[in-house]
């Protein structure tokens, strides 16, 4: 622990170096998430391959407190909160429609399974890239698989914290993490028991990503530029994926048993994929081929099961029951060993051929709210069935479900 504290302290004294190439990638990868921003980032898109148009999420009709107290959302109580169904980010200048009541720019809200909504006022708000603001310092949260704990970056603490929503117990990471380390696109993974927190980011800056043992106060470095999608219960083995500019898998083992960051194995995949989290058995990942092109953003694609360590394709099936011709699909929480949550988000490129982006100076409007529908996708048969949950959306990257995240 001492050696890492020294390294982290030395790096903290300096701002991260960002050259023009990294800055271009940062702007492109952030703005590629919204159809509206693709035109604004057209000059960047020329130098980077692949584009996925997405928007930003707000909840659907389950927010009971917004019905009973219109326009007002309370801050998260110190304790006594039930398990969460999801968390989401709010931005307040939509190009069409209205912002939610008591909207706070870039702020996080959490929604319980009982339908109550709270501001997560302790968490760092996200930078609003849609109005032309640039910078390093993304905001992300992670929810434990049972919905009982949430992790976030706390500006007052200058590092990450994990909160037990029922008891109110608050655990703070043992090292300071300057906001300049948070990158332009942050990824967080919280273990089922809330003990381990993985933090990575894009672009792959020199400052460290890390795996934090919140209980023992220990830290291990992780490689930047990857998305953590699976972690064993003992925190010893981690599965990570990279989807841009090419798809890769990485397995890191013996994370707490060696003097370095453990043993790692990286596999380059021959095609581009959008990944699910690691499946419950710990050996398989589901993925959908990413066939998006500059001229067609909604191309139906098969679903594959692949070995998480080797990338070997175990099964390939055609998908049925998902609106892939008109929607972006994101694979999220596993519902069982054979069913994974698939979120379907409308893609305006598929409907109109071009986004609605008004001319004029900043501030540019935020994306409109769209309805995202959830499905249970059977990875053995490819058949999808609609689930009750729907969400009003602005951005898929701004919606967090319990458990490990996937990677678009």
pLDDT in tens, 307-325: 999 999 999 999 999 999 8
Q: Is 70 a residue whose pLDDT tops 50?
A: yes
Q: Which among 281, 282, 321 is positioned nearest to 303, based on CA atoms?
A: 321
Model confidence pLDDT, tens digit, residues 325-360? 888 899 999 999 999 999 999 887 775 555 555 555
Burial code (b: 16+ CB inside 10 Å, e: under 16) for 246-284 equals ebbbbbbeebeeeeebbebeebebeebbbbbbbbbeeeb
- Of 61-65, 139-143, 354-358, the range with the lowest mean pLDDT is 61-65
pLDDT of residue 209: 92
Residues in the chain, overall count: 408
Q: How far apart are CA 230 and CA 220, in angstroms?
A: 16
pLDDT band at 245 (very low <50, low <70, confident <90, very high): confident
pLDDT of residue 43: 29
Report residue 242 as tokens. Answer: 């990279």
pLDDT band at 132 (very low <50, low <70, confident <90, very high): low
3-state secondary structure of 187: strand
The mean pLDDT value for 5-32 works out to 40
Q: Is 15 a residue whose pLDDT tops 50?
A: no
Share of the chain above pLDDT 90, in %: 54
- Of 86-90, 211-215, 246-250, 298-302, the range with the lowest mean pLDDT is 298-302
Q: How far apart are CA 111 and CA 126, in angstroms?
A: 18
pLDDT band at 370 (very low <50, low <70, confident <90, very high): confident
Share of the chain above pLDDT 70, in %: 74
The mean pLDDT value for 237-249 works out to 92
Model-level pTM? 0.82
Report residue 87 as tokens. Answer: 């968390």
The mean pLDDT value for 288-298 works out to 76
Which among 138-142, 263-267, 338-342 has the top mean pLDDT? Answer: 338-342
pLDDT of residue 335: 97
pLDDT of residue 3: 37
pLDDT of residue 354: 54
Secondary-structure class of domain 2-400 per CATH: mainly beta
pLDDT of residue 297: 67
pLDDT of residue 7: 39
Burial code (b: 16+ CB inside 10 Å, e: under 16) for 227-243 equals bbbbbeeebebbbbbbb
**Rounded mean pLDDT of the chain?**
81
pLDDT of residue 351: 57
């Amino acid at each position: 622990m001492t050696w890492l504290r020294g390294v982290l302290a030395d790096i903290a004294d300096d701002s991260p170096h960002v050259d023009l190439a990294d800055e271009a990638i940062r702007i492109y990868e952030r703005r590629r998430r919204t159809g509206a921003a693709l035109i604004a980032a057209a000059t960047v898109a020329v130098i980077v391959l692949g584009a996925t148009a997405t928007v930003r999420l707000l909840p659907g009709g389950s927010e009971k407190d917004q019905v009973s107290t219109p326009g007002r959302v309370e801050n998260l109580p110190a304790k006594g909160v039930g398990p969460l169904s999801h968390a989401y980010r709010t931005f307040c200048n939509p190009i069409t429609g209205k912002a939610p009541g008591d909207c706070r720019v870039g702020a996080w809200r959490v929604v319980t399974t009982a339908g109550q909504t709270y501001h997560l006022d302790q968490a760092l708000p996200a930078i609003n890239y849609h109005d032309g603001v640039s910078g390093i310092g993304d905001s992300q949260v992670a929810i434990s698989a049972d919905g009982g704990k949430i992790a976030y970056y706390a500006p007052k603490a200058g590092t990450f914290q994990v909160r037990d929503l029922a008891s109110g117990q608050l655990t703070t990471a043992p090292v300071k993490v300057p906001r300049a380390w948070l990158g332009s696109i942050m990824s967080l993974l919280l273990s089922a028991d809330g003990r381990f927190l993985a933090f990575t980011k894009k672009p792959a800056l020199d400052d460290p990503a890390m795996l934090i043992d919140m209980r023992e106060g220990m830290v291990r470095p992780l490689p930047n530029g990857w998305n953590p999608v699976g972690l064993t219960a003992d925190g010893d083995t981690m599965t990570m994926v990279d989807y841009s500019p090419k798809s890769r898998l990485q397995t890191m083992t013996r994370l707490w048993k060696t003097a370095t960051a453990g043993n790692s194995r990286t596999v380059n995949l021959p095609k581009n994929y959008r990944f699910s989290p690691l499946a419950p058995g710990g050996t398989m990942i589901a993925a959908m081929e990413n066939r998006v092109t500059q001229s067609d953003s909604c191309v139906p694609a098969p679903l594959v099961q692949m070995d998480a360590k080797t990338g070997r394709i175990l099964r390939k099936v055609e998908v049925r029951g998902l609106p892939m011709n008109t929607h972006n699909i994101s694979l999220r929480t596993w519902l069982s060993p054979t069913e994974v949550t698939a979120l379907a988000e409308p893609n305006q490129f598929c409907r109109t051929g071009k986004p609605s982006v008004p001319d004029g100076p900043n501030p540019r409007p935020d994306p409109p709210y769209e309805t995202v529908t959830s499905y249970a996708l059977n990875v053995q048969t490819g058949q999808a069935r609609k689930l009750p949950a729907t969400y009003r959306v602005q951005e898929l990257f701004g919606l967090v479900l319990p458990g490990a995240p996937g990677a678009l």
